[in-house]
Structure 1
Amino acid sequence: MSENAAIDFHHPYQPYDVQLEFMRTVYDVLEKGYGQVGILESPTGTGKSLSLICATLTWLRSHKRSKFEASFNATAAGMAGEPEWMVEAALKRKREELGRRWEERERALERARMRERELEARGRERSAKRARVDDDGRRTKGGREVDEEREFLIEDWDGGDDTGDGLGPLSKETRELLEKVGLGGSREKEKIDGEVEDEIKIYYTSRTHSQLTQFISELRRPAFPPSIPTDVMSPKGGDEEKRATEAVKQLPLSSRQKLCINPSVARLGSLSAINDRCTELQQSKSKEKCPFLPNAENLKQTHEFRDTALATLPDIEDLHRVGKELQVCPYYASRTAIPGAEVITLPYPLLLQKSARDALGIKLEGNIVVIDEAHNIMDAVANVHAAEIRLSELRRARQMLGFYVKRFGKKLKGENRVMVAQVGKVIESLSECLSGLLTAKGDQGILDSSIILKARGADQINPYQLIKYIQESKLAYKVESYVSHAEEQEASSSGTVDKPTRSTPVLHILVSFMAALTNLSVEGRIFYEKLAVTPPDIKLSYLLLSPTHAFSSIASAARAIVLAGGTMSPFEDYKMHLFPTLPPDKITTLSCGHVIPSSNLFAWALASTKPVPPDNNNTAAADSFEFSFQKRSDRSMIRQLGLALLNICSVVPDGVVVFFPSYGYLDEVVTAWQTSDTPGQPPLWGRLAAKKALFRETKSGGPTSEELLQQYSAAILSPTSPSASAAPSSRGGAVLLSVVGGRLSEGINFSDRLGRCVVVVGLPYPNIHSPDWKARLEYIESTVLSRLSSEENQQQNNAAQARAQAKQAAREFYENACMRAVNQSIGRAIRHREDYAAVVLVDRRFGTERIKGKLPGWIRAGIVERAEEKGLQGLMGGLSLFFKGRRA
């Protein structure tokens, strides 16, 4: 720590102590070398993103300078025994060459910045000389007939020979295109037009594009020193102030869906359809080559795009705009900027799927991976590998395939005929399986993968080859495009005004589901669930039970991985399920405090309405709050909860947000509060509404999240505005009844007056009897047992102990999932240094050391000592003192 105390992290503001601790920890993780992992928790409102930027880029620039110095030392060592003047001359030439290349690159980027500024200043429109593309694409009739044979007929398939060029599942056309712009596979990449050496990079990923855009705006705040030693720069380098810093080279990556500028392709909407049509327009036989693809004719524009991307810290919208201005595809042109980029931003799915990384040209080997909002990274891994398909979709797929074969079947030859027939067999097998389940007893359950493909001999089909065929032949796109075209023609001939809605891309859904089935069978399960719709329907879902194998390609390749989030506690699951084989000394964890002073947080565990004597060991007394599944419907306890909330609302100003375990329980509680238990007494709901305006979240129907937040905010910030529930009291404010894990429990900002108190009711454990959670817990038990049986010291542990340990591991995972959801809800309130709020945890179990230990450190430290023994009276006294004298 003392060694790092002098590090200047180039933070644009005076960092708080917790920010310095966070930055030093990140820097240490990166400095320790290969195979390091950091799991860091920094509460929302503590400047986590900016701290990540300052720590990682300070390390990166320092690392680059160190590498250059090391190369000079290696040159000198290699010339040992040579005259000193020769060594000095060689080092001087090397330094001058390095300085020249660096300054040429910086000048090129400065020119790109000037071009961007000129365009913005002039606000020029697209050039009239620029090529125009018909928004309706090639199906715009304009008196011209669509050539169905050429457009929809599958070309001869050669079995999809592997080229061995290291570009994995990419089409031949895409491989050729990437080679043209210098991003080929195994061949040596040629340096073109000042291209820089591919250096160590920071891959930064977050959940959504909006979060990445926010990160990029933060990236514009700090300034960092150059990546080369200052004594290497030419003394004629110009302005000393400019020479003291070097702009960060950042590149955002995304899918074709976000970046395609070809209107005829982008309008397809579906990502799979866009991908297929894009690669089809690259085929050598295509008469409609995409005019925006990088090629020899537009190489100058491609390089302009590259320089502009590296010079301007763009977001996805900027790349799309620059691509349109230069008339070059931003999806492919951005690949030329990858070698020169220091920071590459991308959303979760593009990092977590190996096929997506291959398609984007991402190489993690030796690079840094920073995963922000990492509290849900395990769910994110499961989601990108999940897939589902419905019986109604399979029936539609069979209908579409039959329609296509009726038109083109006689023209399908050889391998095409065989493979299309296999696709039909798979669809029929899945349909028969689901049709049988639709009439069987039980609404949900687990299926063996061998059963779902048992009919029609589908279990004898090679799924890998079939998936490859559908992808490379563009069968799904061809079939769906032809059916859509035929439906449009029929609608046109019948005089229908409205165009038919584009068909759901059901064959692409089938491919995704089949691809999921190729995952390791021990790590996934297939579930069926009947749907409450008319006509009756049923769906198959594939669930990845463990992220370990899917994440291993990242964990084993990256130089270092940093998982950062506002609420990462508890940490153990990340260690066990993402890095199970990593030695403990390779994993660094940190739970930061908050930037607020301790006096700005009041946290209380409310176990009972009445005080509990210190010598009373009966922690589950009759009047205790325990919202377990077995006890939470107790009407007396629900009434006591309402009275507690009524008391809280009488003391807390402005906004109170209450989180319940589920939508079902929220509905049950509201119904009970709206009913009077005592004749002549008004219902609790009315008494609450007299204190504050009441709003509630619903699972479906009712106002949207945005509308609900607007109404809730208006009731607090504009006390005179009417409320749908009740007129605001003289004190003003509102209560928002929400659900842990619901629409308002993550990513919503209840700062300042919107969230002066957060109340969490009970522990929101997932339904342990649901098929997916049963399967998850059984999987954890079996893997832990397997690991224990393989350990050398197993003879010291008997079978009963091993089973107990396995069950405990499953219990921990189950409990940790619950507490991560609780911690996310708690984190909605305090959002900046001047903010203050109370957190009330209503359930006796929040008073136990086991549960307290899974709360974030800053909340745990703020819980009033022995609060669980002091009852409602103690809570009210504490809340009154906390809010006394504070500005409302």
Structure 2
Amino acid sequence: MDELADDIRRIDFHHPYTPYDVQDQFMSTVHNVLQKGEGQVGILESPTGTGKSLSLICAALTWLRDHKRDSHEGSVADAAKAFKDEPDWIVEQMLKRKREELVKQWENREARLKDIRDKERLLEGRGSKRRRIETRGDGKAGNVSEDNDDDDDDQWLLGLADDEDTLGQDASSSLSRESKELMKKLGLGPLRKEEEDEVGDVGGNEVKIYYTSRTHSQLTQFIAELRRPVFPPSIPTALLDEDSTTAKEGVKHLPLSSRQRLCINPSVSRLGSLSAINDRCAELQQAKSKDNCQFVPNADNLHLTHQFRDNALATLPDIEDLFGLGKKLQICPYYASRTAIPGAEIITLPYPLLLQKTARDALGIKLEGNVVIIDEAHNIMDAVANVYASGISLSELRRARQMLGVYVKKFGKKLKGENRVRVAQVARVVDGLSGWLDNALNLKADQGIVDPNALLKSKGIDQINMYKLIQYVQGSKLAYKIEGYVAQAEAQGDPHSSHTASLSTPVLHTLISFLVSLNNLSSEGRIFFHKMLNKDSQDIKLSYLLLSPTHAFSSITSSARAVILAGGTMSPFEDYTSHLFPDLDTKKVTTLSCGHVIPASNLCVWTLAAPKPKDEGSGIDFEFSFQKRSDKAMIRELGIAILNACTAVPDGVVVFFPSYGYLDEVVAAWSEKSASQPKSIWERLEAKKSVFRESKGGSSDEVLEQYSKAILGDEKEAAKKTGPSSSQTRGALLLSVVGGKMSEGINFSDRLGRCVIIVGLPYPNITSPDWKARIEYIESTALKRLTEGDVKMPRHEALAAAKQAARDFYENACMRAVNQSIGRAIRHMNDYAAIILIDRRFGTEKIRAKLPAWIRGGLVEGSESGGLGQMMGRLSSFFRSKQS
């Protein structure tokens, strides 16, 4: 700890503001993990409102610039070793020349980028150059382009079976020789030209930071933070002249995204679905394609590619900026952005592009020796599962069969050889899966695990070489061509296509994704079925679920120099080490749970275990387990507790329930009247505050807007408020669900969230097939590891430990969801709020240990033994102190 304190005092992280102690601690820990390198992993928790993103930037880029300077010094020292037997004057001359070359190369690059920045400010200014995605519509997007000529249906015809450029190969294999050579240069290395034009070459082999987050908006916010700090140059300042105009080195940032966000070809981008866009893009680059995309980098527009690269590295762009730059230069930003990768220091990208190795390879991303930062990492295990998830419903299969019928009716006589065989095989697969699902509709169970062998026996699907079929479909662009033709036929009013789906529903692409999962089944994955009951119809779906992220994530941890998992609510930590990298040496894992930036007096955490204090005898205990939560008396006492809390708490109160079903049950019980109470609890709540509730299918934006308006109202009136007892502090009550739309990403800061109430522990449904499969998988893998490892445990002990590992995973999933909901309240250093945990189990040490450190620090000691009366006294004094 003393060593860490010394590091904190010694390192200048170039934070644009005076950092709090917790920020210094966080930055120093990040820096320490990166400095150690060699496969290090950091699992770091910093509450929302503590400037986590800015701290990540300052720590990581401070380390990176230091590392670069050390590397430059090291390269000079290595050069000196080669001349160790030469006279000193020769060595000195050589070192001088080496340093001068290094400085000149750096200064040329920085001067060039500075000129670009100066021109940008002069011509447009930072604000006016912001172009948003909606500006893509230039009046042409909805028109049928030349490559979609109504009079020429042959564009949808499959290529000849002996055409090596089009069949059975991946997208990159289907490019012309010129395109393949150029794409190799663009994706795998910098374009070669004269040295003075090679801005992207400088730093090409240096360490990079890959930063990923969950949503596009979170990446945009991160880039905004990236513009705040200023860092010293990556070259030793002693080598620079004092009057050097390029001594300030800007951060070189590059955002990466999919074609769906970056394609500037209207005839391609209008296709909507990512799969269709990818297929059409690849098709336009095939050697024998009659149409070519004029925006793809080639020998004729090489200067535009360089210009795009230089502008990207000079201006800290976000995805919209790259799209706008591509439109301005008329060069494809998806491909041109690859040329900027070698010169970039920090690269931002969404989860799927980092988590899938195939996506990384397609973009030319090399993790070896580089740093990976995963923000909002509390849901990283779910994110990995979602990336590899797939599914297909019976209704989608029926639409796919109709599409195949329409296509074959038009082109059947022109299909020869392998094309005819493969199209027939796709139809057979569709019929086989449809037949199995048709039979499954008669099963009593609404959901369950599917035996893949039984599934593949339907209609003899198991006799088809699925691997070769998938290769053919992907290489021939079969899904795109069938869906494209059907969409065109629909637009022209073809009677044969009247009952088929439009291109906006890419069912054949969905089918292929499911077949890929089916073909890659392993012990880590399962297939499930579940019935979907609608008002007018019944449907059933097959879904593939990855049970463990270990194998998928291992390619990242085994390659990267260091991996940082950061989030506002990472607790409990055990799951990350147990399920993301179970074989990693514990000495290589660093964990940190930061405190909050708020003073301790701004947080009041109360555990309400029962309505009455413990010493007043046995009354009703609050325990919202599945077996007990329907107790009418307990639900009534819950309503009274929340009613009392609404009396003491000003402005906004947000209550989180375990599920939508239970919220409906509670509201129904609260709405009932009794002889002793002329007004229902629901009516009494409405008399205290405006009441709003989240619904499973409703609009969260609309509810949130109404809730906010009820609290904030007229700001002039709000300024007149004098305290909790004022009639003007009525505020609002919002009933939400843990894991619902309000529990993550919503900001209940200040008056919107003066109190957050958690009702019960939202354990997942342990009887559902997917959770049964997860638990069984964790138990079996833990048992295998404990009985077959270097230190073999007796089987009965190993079995008990394996069952405990599964229980811990189940409990941790529950507590991560709770912690996310709690984190909605305190959003900045001047914020204050009360948190009420209503369930006796929150008073147990096992559950409390899984709460974030800053929440544990705010717990009122002994509150679990107190009752509603003591809680009201504490809340009243807490909020009175804030109003004085």
TM score, norm. by length of structure 2: 0.93
Say which of 859, 862, 866 aligns to 2:858.
862
Aligned to 2:78: 74
Say which of 334, 337, 354 aligns to 1:351.
354
1:610 partner SS: coil
Q: Counterpart amino acid of 1:669? A: V
CA RMSD of aligned residues (A): 2.6
Matches within 5 A, 1:525-540: 525-533=526-534, 534-540=536-542
Matches within 5 A, 1:201-280: 201-234=208-241, 237-238=244-245, 242-243=246-247, 245-280=248-283
Q: Deviations over 1:678-708 (max 9, x none)?
A: 445311111111111111111124xx21111
Q: Deviations over 1:628-666 (max 9, x none)?
A: 000001011011111111111111111100000001111
2:882 partner SS: coil
Aligned to 1:884: 880
- Fraction of identical pairs, as percent: 63
Say which of 635, 644, 648 aligns to 1:647.
644
CA shift, 1:153, in A, is 3.5
Q: Which moved more, 1:76-85 or 1:226-235?
A: 226-235
Report the CA distance shift for 1:553/1:124 in structure 2 as closer, same or farther (over 3 A): closer
Q: Deviations over 1:435-490 (max 9, x none)?
A: 11112222111101112121232112222222221111100001011111111112
Aligned to 1:135: 141
CA shift, 1:112, in A, is 1.9
Runs ≥4 residues deviating over 4 A: 121-126, 136-142, 157-163, 184-192, 491-494, 719-722
Aligned to 2:704: 709
Q: C-alpha distance in 1, partners of 2:437/2:589?
A: 45
Say which of 743, 746, 760 aligns to 1:745.
743
2:591 partner SS: strand
Q: Extract unaligned runs of 5+ from structure 1.
A: 127-131, 723-727
Aligned to 2:720: none
Q: C-alpha distance in 2, partners of 1:642/1:823?
A: 23
Q: C-alpha distance in 1, partners of 2:494/2:147?
A: 14
Aligned to 1:786: 784
Q: C-alpha distance in 2, partners of 1:125/1:730?
A: 42
Is contact 1:830-1:836 (8 Å) kept?
yes
Q: C-alpha distance in 2, partners of 1:521/1:319?
A: 39
Aligned to 2:135: none
CA shift, 1:78, in A, is 2.1
Report the CA distance shift for 1:334/1:380 in structure 2 as closer, same or farther (over 3 A): same
1:61 paired to 2:78: no
Q: Extract unaligned runs of 5+ from structure 2.
A: 132-137, 718-725
Q: Which moved more, 1:313-322 or 1:420-429?
A: 420-429
Matches within 5 A, 1:452-467: 452-467=455-470
Say which of 731, 734, 751 aligns to 2:732.
734
1:371 paired to 2:377: no
CA shift, 1:872, in A, is 1.1
Is contact 2:156-2:482 (8 Å) kept?
no
Say which of 681, 691, 697 aligns to 2:678.
681
Matches within 5 A, 1:471-550: 471-490=474-493, 501-502=502-503, 504-533=505-534, 534-550=536-552
Q: Which moved more, 1:531-540 or 1:677-686?
A: 677-686
Report the CA distance shift for 1:504/1:161 in structure 2 as closer, same or farther (over 3 A): closer
Q: Deviations over 1:235-289 (max 9, x none)?
A: 6633xxx51x310000000000000000010100011000000111111211211
CA shift, 1:520, in A, is 4.3
Q: Counterpart amino acid of 1:775? A: A
1:627 partner SS: coil
CA shift, 1:871, in A, is 1.1
1:441 partner SS: coil
CA shift, 1:3, in A, is 4.0
Report the CA distance shift for 1:339/1:140 in structure 2 as closer, same or farther (over 3 A): closer
Is contact 1:29-1:560 (8 Å) kept?
yes
Is contact 1:750-1:828 (8 Å) kept?
yes
1:298 partner SS: helix
Aligned to 2:327: 324
1:555 paired to 2:560: no
1:156 paired to 2:161: yes
Q: C-alpha distance in 2, partners of 1:869/1:119?
A: 67
Report the CA distance shift for 1:168/1:340 in structure 2 as closer, same or farther (over 3 A): farther
Report the CA distance shift for 1:709/1:280 in structure 2 as closer, same or farther (over 3 A): same
2:271 partner SS: coil
Q: C-alpha distance in 2, partners of 1:337/1:691?
A: 58
Q: Which moved more, 1:318-327 or 1:510-519?
A: 510-519
CA shift, 1:781, in A, is 0.3
Aligned to 2:687: 690
Aligned to 1:759: 757
Q: Counterpart amino acid of 1:567? A: T
Is contact 1:625-1:843 (8 Å) kept?
yes
Matches within 5 A, 1:836-875: 836-875=832-871
Q: Counterpart amino acid of 2:157? A: F
Is contact 1:715-1:721 (8 Å) kept?
no
Say which of 1, 7, 10 aligns to 2:14.
10
Q: Which moved more, 1:653-662 or 1:527-536?
A: 527-536
Q: Which moved more, 1:17-26 or 1:450-459?
A: 450-459
Say which of 404, 423, 428 aligns to 1:425.
428
CA shift, 1:714, in A, is 1.0
Q: Counterpart amino acid of 1:551? A: F
Say which of 587, 592, 608 aligns to 2:594.
592
Aligned to 2:579: 577
1:100 paired to 2:100: no
Is contact 1:301-1:328 (8 Å) kept?
yes
1:395 paired to 2:393: no
1:667 paired to 2:668: no
Is contact 1:152-1:481 (8 Å) kept?
no
Is contact 2:167-2:475 (8 Å) kept?
no
Is contact 2:15-2:55 (8 Å) kept?
yes
Q: C-alpha distance in 2, partners of 1:156/1:804?
A: 57
CA shift, 1:535, in A, is 3.0
Report the CA distance shift for 1:55/1:680 in structure 2 as closer, same or farther (over 3 A): closer
CA shift, 1:721, in A, is 12
Report the CA distance shift for 1:135/1:225 in structure 2 as closer, same or farther (over 3 A): same
Is contact 1:757-1:837 (8 Å) kept?
yes
Aligned to 2:722: none
1:744 partner SS: coil
Q: C-alpha distance in 2, partners of 1:662/1:339?
A: 48
Report the CA distance shift for 1:277/1:162 in structure 2 as closer, same or farther (over 3 A): closer
Is contact 1:740-1:822 (8 Å) kept?
yes
Report the CA distance shift for 1:233/1:161 in structure 2 as closer, same or farther (over 3 A): farther
Aligned to 1:129: none
2:493 partner SS: helix
CA shift, 1:178, in A, is 6.0
Say which of 789, 805, 811 aligns to 2:801.
805
Report the CA distance shift for 1:35/1:512 in structure 2 as closer, same or farther (over 3 A): same
Is contact 2:165-2:175 (8 Å) kept?
no
TM score, norm. by length of structure 1: 0.93
Q: C-alpha distance in 1, partners of 2:290/2:650?
A: 69
Is contact 1:182-1:190 (8 Å) kept?
no
Report the CA distance shift for 1:378/1:176 in structure 2 as closer, same or farther (over 3 A): farther
1:218 partner SS: helix
CA shift, 1:406, in A, is 2.1
Aligned to 2:614: 612
1:5 partner SS: helix
Report the CA distance shift for 1:816/1:124 in structure 2 as closer, same or farther (over 3 A): closer
CA shift, 1:622, in A, is 4.4
